[in-house]
Amino acid sequence: MNTLDSIKNKSILDLSEKYDFPPWMISRYSKYIPNLELFLDHLNQQEPNIYLRTNTIKMTPNVLCDRLSTKGFKLETTQLKDVFLIKNSPYSITSTSEYLLGYYYLQDLSSCFSVEELEISEDLSILDMASSPGGKTTFIAQKMNNTGSILALEPNRFRLKRLFYNLERCGVMNTCVWNIEGSDILNYDLQFDRVLLDAPCSCDGIIQKDITRKNTYSKESIEKCSKEQNILLNAAIKVTKPGGLIIYSTCSLAPEENELIINDVLSKYQINLEDIKYGLEGLSEFEGIQLHKSLNMTKRFYPHIHKTNGFFIAKLRKIA
């Protein structure tokens, strides 16, 4: 081991001890997270930001803002007009009548960006491949003004309950929910204008909100998830109409679940990456592997920079 390596190892061990993260995670993060110490500081010390999205099927952002303000909630605008950052809550934000009436949905801003990039208009056919608990599905529905059709897939019967509750609460009428694995969509002769794949992932992007993720996060979980993500994305591309869009997103920061998955399909299908307005550029290299040059069009979101969950979004256009 040379001097440089030993200094690096010492600093990894120091950070690991200081922030109570396993050394292997610190070592990984040092390869792809900008301002690592700031990131770890942020996770340890800052309360996660909570955002709410106005459900425009039932309510307008201005009226909602006024109503919640009179109840003592302090909201701040964001880059998206329907989404607000909750700066102050006198009591639980899910205990208001407005929440029960389906006037808003608690959803991270990063997650809203993925739907924003789906270029939604009325009367499209949209597939949501891993839909529960329904945040993105309900956002898609409101962007379509409850027209067109959404097919929402969810394999887990227990999670279906939560999904259907949210669809019902938000007044969504244009959605059909199927109880199947995302990849099983290939068994049906269907094609869609838009496909959203918010893939199941190792979820290290939400460690700030759910500290138990620190213990469940492992090299094995990354490997397991990336295999599943690969299968799902291949299916997503196959069921997209030519000219259609696929949004791939995860709440993981691991390149194996993000850029490497996209890199793999770019060489297999006639698809192009398209630019996304928000976030920092995706990685173009990881562990000595040079990735496709267009991967800088994918976007990453970091808690300490964007004040959101750790998140990744790729926007793919199917050519043929």
Partner 1 sequence: MRKPTRNELNIFYKASNHWGIFSIVNNELILIKEDTIKKQKRKLLFLISKNLENLVFFQPTYRAGLFLGTISIKKFYPSFPFFYLVNKFGINYPFVIINEEAEILYLYGRDVLGDSILEYSSGLKENCLAIIMNRNKEQLGVGRTRFSDNGITKKGKITLSNLMDLGLYHRNENKDDQSSFDLSYFID
Known catalytic membership, residue 251: yes
CB of 295 to partner 1, least distance (A): 34
The answer to whether residue 186 forms part of the interface with partner 1 (CB under 8 A) is: no
23 vs 171 by CB, closer to partner 1: 171
Given a contact cutoff of 8 angstroms between Cβ atoms, the answer to whether 114 and 80 are in contact is: no
Q: Is 171 near partner 1 (CB under 8 A)?
A: yes
**What are the phi and psi torsion angles at 118 (to 5°)?**
-80, -5
Residue 134 near residue 166 (C-beta atoms within 8 A): yes
Asked if 147 touches partner 1 (CB under 8 A), the answer is yes
- The mark string for 90-129 relative to partner 1 (x by CB under 8 A, - otherwise) is ----x--x--xx---------------------x-x----
Q: How many residues bind partner 1 (CB under 8 A)?
A: 34
Residue appearing with tokens 């059909």: 176
Nearest approach, Cβ of 89 to partner 1 (angstroms)?
16
Query: Using an 8 Å Cβ cutoff, are 197 and 232 in contact?
Result: yes
- Name beta bridge partners: 74: 88
Closer CB to partner 1, residue 8 or residue 67? 67
To partner 1, the closest distance from the beta carbon of 146 in angstroms equals 8
Q: DSSP readout, 202-220?
A: --GGGTTT-TTHHHH--HH
**Considering only CA atoms, which of 101, 173, 107, 166 is closest in space to residue 144?**
173
* C-alpha torsion 262→263→264→265, nearest 10: 50
222 CB-side CA count, 13 A: 17
Structure tokens at 1: 């081991």
Q: Least distance from C-beta 52 to partner 1, angstroms?
A: 17
CB of 174 or CB of 309, closer to partner 1: 174
Q: Is 244 in the site for partner 1 (CB under 8 A)?
A: no
Q: Which residues are catalytic?
A: 251
Interface positions with partner 1 (CB under 8 A): 94, 97, 100-101, 123, 125, 146-149, 151, 154, 157, 160-165, 167-169, 171, 173-180, 184, 188, 190
